[in-house]
Every structure is written in C-alpha cells, then in structure tokens.
C-alpha cells in the first residue's frame, strides 16, 4: 500500500518523502527525493525536528506511519492510522514479545499526547473510524484504498482448475491472527474424520515457536496443514488461483487487505463474524473466532457436511432415562 501511495505521489509537482532506512524502493521510484531514517527513537526525533523546520504554511504533510508529527507544524498534517493496537486497548499484550510491547506503549503515548498536532486522521473502515473517534476525540474520516494491480479474475479462474489447497489463510504470526484456534478447529474436524487441507504463510524466522506447535499437532493428529512461508505478492496472486477458499479467523484488523484480494480473485471467504470483516466483505460463512468448534462448523457448512445436533427429548423421557441408568 505504501509503494502504491508513493507511486501516486511521484506524479505530483513537489514531493519530499521521509521513509524507514530499511525499506527497499522499486526502480521506478528510485529517483524520488527521499530522506531515509534509521529505525531508532533518536533518529526518528531528529527527523521530526527537521520536518518541523522545513514545513511551510501552505505545505501538506501526510503521516503514513500511524503517528502525528511530534512537533506542531507550520502547514497542515494528516495521519493515516492503520495499526489497530494503538486505539483498541481490548486485545491483550500477554503473548507479544517484550520489544513489541514496549514499542506499542511508546506509540500509544505518542499518538494520544501529540494527537492535536494533526488536523485530521484517515482510517480504512467504519469500525476503525468509530474506535479512533472514541479513543482520541479527533476528526476522523474513513477512506479505504487498495493497490491498483489486483490480478484479473479471469486469469485466476483458469489457474483454479487445479486446486492445491482446500483453504488458505494469509497472515503473519502475531497472536491476534489466531492460528492456534484455527489449528484446534482442524483437530476437531480430524476427530470427525474430516481432513481438509490448509495452507499458511508463516515466517520461520518470526514465528518459530508457533510453527513448531502447529507441526507437532499436525504430525500427531494427521492434519493436512502446510506452511508455505513468506511469499511474494506475485506468487500470492498466483496462489489465490490454486485454492478452494480463504479462511480468516483473525480477532481484529484495521483493514484486512487479504479479504479484498480474495474477493477480487473471486474466492469464497469464511471469516470471523466481526465488524472489520463486514466493513469490507460479506463472507459465505462466518464464525466465532474464539471458538474452534464454531470455526469447524463453518468449514463443514461450506463443505456441505451436516452437523450432528443434540437430540431434544421430553421431561418424561428424561425421567425414564434416569431410572434406567440407576437400574443398570
């Protein structure tokens, strides 16, 4: 999304860009006026000071990294807020690495403390708009955009003649992505003799413990769960043409871009019954993301398998059953 935004900005007359030093720009953007900042707090504050001195009265500053300017600017600043952790305090930090917890706490403080240094905030969905208004008390507008290059549905339809995986979950390994509950749902399905294949896109470097747990469960239970690792956008778009459906059990998102990509690819989507999902799509099946049973049932409904329901008896039958049990 940032690359797409930079491409759009490159067509403007006068643009200056400040980005993280680690970001690799494609060749068509290499000639832009770019200032790179090291990923340290001191370097970030230096960059903020330089920005404050450089911005003039009629300048417009777009902050794409969730945070408003640290110093009040001479021009007008707009913040594009994408990280839901910064305005939604209900998710627990318990399972996050210590470094990530510290960064999020600093960014939450920065966002709230300096929120008035921006004239407006943009988010991508109505639920994020409501949440940000309630948390920050600032002007917030919802404006979703996606990369222009979504693969043509017709191309994917041709490639989908050969389905490699029944379900695909495109997500990194953060706790809120909910992989553990998803795999538990797959274990529940296996107990009923149902073994759909599931493809994941987890990084071995970033989520080694999670991957180890998934591999152990899959081996013991005979689950058809396959991790494809981190894949490029080009390969991902091809992969969309080789799966039967997308499943998305994430507990919260600011946007959920894979949901829109899957929709553009013409794929059916099974997703959590949460606001962020309904903000952008209507899934073919929905479920409670905290319940592996609910996820498993949604999968069975999609596969056309009937759910066994508990038989409902009369009070007379219940008493007779109790008597029979005691006799035996």
- For the segment 178-199, what is each residue's pLDDT rounded down to a tens digit? 999 999 999 999 999 999 999 9
Q: What per-residue confidence (pLDDT) applies to 156?
A: 53
Asked if 122 and 81 touch (Cβ cutoff 8 Å), the reply is: yes
First to last CA, the chain: 68
Considering only CA atoms, give the Rg of the chain: 24
Q: Would you state the pLDDT for residue 257?
A: 87
d(CA 284, CA 149): 25
Sign of CA dihedral 265, 270, 276, 279: positive
Average pLDDT of the chain to the nearest whole number: 89
Angle (CA) 270-272-274 rounded to 5° is: 135
Residue burial 141-155, b: 16+ Cβ < 10 Å; e: rest:
eeeeeeeeeebeeee
Domain ranges of the chain: 40-142, 153-302
pLDDT at position 4: 84
- Fold designation for 153-302: Rossmann fold (3.40.50)
Tell me the pLDDT band of 96, cut-offs 50, 70 and 90.
confident
Burial class (CB in 10 A: 0-12, 13-18, 19+), 24: exposed
For residue 327, is pLDDT > 80? no
- The stretch 280-297 carries a mean pLDDT of 96
HSE at residue 181, side-chain half, CA atoms within 13 A, is 20
Going by pLDDT thresholds of 50, 70 and 90, the confidence category of residue 151 is: very low
Q: What is the reported pLDDT for 15?
A: 84
Q: How many CB atoms lie within 10 A of CB 206?
A: 13
Give residue 145's pLDDT.
81
pLDDT at 136: 94
User: What is the CB neighbour count within 10 angstroms for residue 241?
Assistant: 21
pLDDT surpasses 80 at 88: yes
Q: Which residue has the higher pLDDT, 252 or 1?
A: 252
Interatomic CA distance for residues 73 and 60, integer angstroms: 10
pLDDT score, position 46? 94
Of the pLDDT bands very low, low, confident and very high (cuts 50, 70, 90), residue 201 is very high
The string of pLDDT tens digits covering residues 10-54 is 777 788 889 899 988 888 776 678 889 998 989 999 999 999 999
- Region 297-321: mean pLDDT is 87
């Amino acid at each position: 999304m940032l690359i797409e935004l930079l491409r759009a900005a490159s067509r403007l007359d006068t643009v200056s860009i400040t980005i993280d030093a680690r970001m690799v720009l494609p060749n068509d953007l290499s000639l832009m006026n770019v200032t790179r900042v090291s990923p340290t707090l001191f370097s970030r504050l230096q960059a903020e000071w330089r920005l404050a001195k450089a911005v003039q009265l009629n300048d417009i500053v777009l902050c794409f990294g969730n945070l408003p300017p640290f110093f009040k600017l001479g021009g007008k600043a707009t913040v594009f807020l994408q990280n839901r952790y910064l305005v939604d305090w209900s998710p627990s930090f318990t399972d996050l690495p210590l470094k990530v917890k510290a960064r999020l706490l600093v960014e939450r403080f920065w966002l709230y403390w300096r929120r008035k240094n921006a004239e407006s905030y943009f988010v991508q969905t109505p639920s994020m708009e409501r949440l940000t208004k309630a948390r920050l008390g600032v002007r917030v507008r919802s404006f979703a955009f996606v990369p222009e290059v979504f693969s043509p549905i017709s191309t994917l339809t041709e490639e989908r003649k050969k389905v490699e995986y029944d379900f695909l979950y495109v997500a990194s390994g953060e706790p809120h992505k909910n992989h553990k509950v998803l795999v538990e749902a797959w274990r529940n399905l296996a107990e009923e003799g149902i073994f759909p294949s599931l493809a994941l896109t987890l990084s071995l470097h970033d989520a080694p413990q999670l991957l180890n747990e998934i591999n152990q469960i899959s081996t013991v239970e005979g689950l058809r769960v396959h991790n494809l690792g981190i894949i490029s956008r080009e390969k991902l778009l091809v992969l969309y043409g080789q799966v039967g459906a997308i499943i998305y059990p994430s507990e919260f998102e600011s946007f959920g871009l894979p949901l829109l990509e899957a929709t553009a690819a013409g794929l059916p989507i099974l997703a959590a019954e949460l606001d962020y999902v309904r903000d952008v799509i209507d899934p073919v099946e929905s479920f409670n993301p905290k319940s592996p049973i609910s996820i498993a049932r949604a999968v069975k409904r999609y596969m056309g398998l009937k759910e066994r329901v508990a038989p409902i008896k009369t009070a007379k039958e219940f008493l007779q059953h109790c008597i029979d049990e005691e006799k035996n």
